[in-house]
Amino acid sequence: MTHITPYDDAQREAIVRIALRAWTPVFASIERAMDPEVYREHHPDWRVTQQQAVEAACADPDVHVWVASERAHPLGFIALKLHPAERLGEIYMLAVDPESQRHGIATTLTAHALAWFKAVRMTTVMADTGGDCGHEPARRTYESAGFRPFPIARYFKKL
């Protein structure tokens, strides 16, 4: 049975490891979809920047992180932000270890996030993800939870 608990700093290494494993195919997809020069400019070593981003999120008192575990073994995590002035909750990060994907863990974490946002009186929830094939699992998770996409076009050009 999957348990969702607040993040504890003792879980940092496991959370970073999950994120890097989960996001490896995502960054491979981004690399295929993006102009090679732009990709190299912005992601010279995505593992380093993503590790730093996950560690910063876990250390930030304004980011609320929960961990999905089975038998005290972390399988995934979700990081949430509040934008109280807009009564907007943001799913900032979501990752599930590849060996545990397609078992409902992302769905469970998302449901937990939605319930928590409602409990803290947010009225809308936002999640950003990519339109490339590497982000397809994230889009499926959000759409199955009732999220609707907002079309956006983001363009890049290397100078």
Which CATH architecture describes the domain 3-144?
3-Layer(aba) Sandwich (3.40)
What's the mean per-residue pLDDT of the chain?
Answer: 95
Residue 155 has pLDDT above 90, yes or no: no
Residue at 80: amino acid letter: L
3-state DSSP call for residue 128? coil
The phi, psi pair for 98, rounded to 5°, reads -55, -35
Write down the domain spans for the chain: 3-144
The predicted pLDDT at position 129 comes to 93
Q: Is the pLDDT of residue 27 over 90?
A: yes
**Lowest model confidence (mean pLDDT) among 36-45, 117-126, 134-143, 150-159:** 150-159
Q: Is the pLDDT of residue 51 over 90?
A: yes
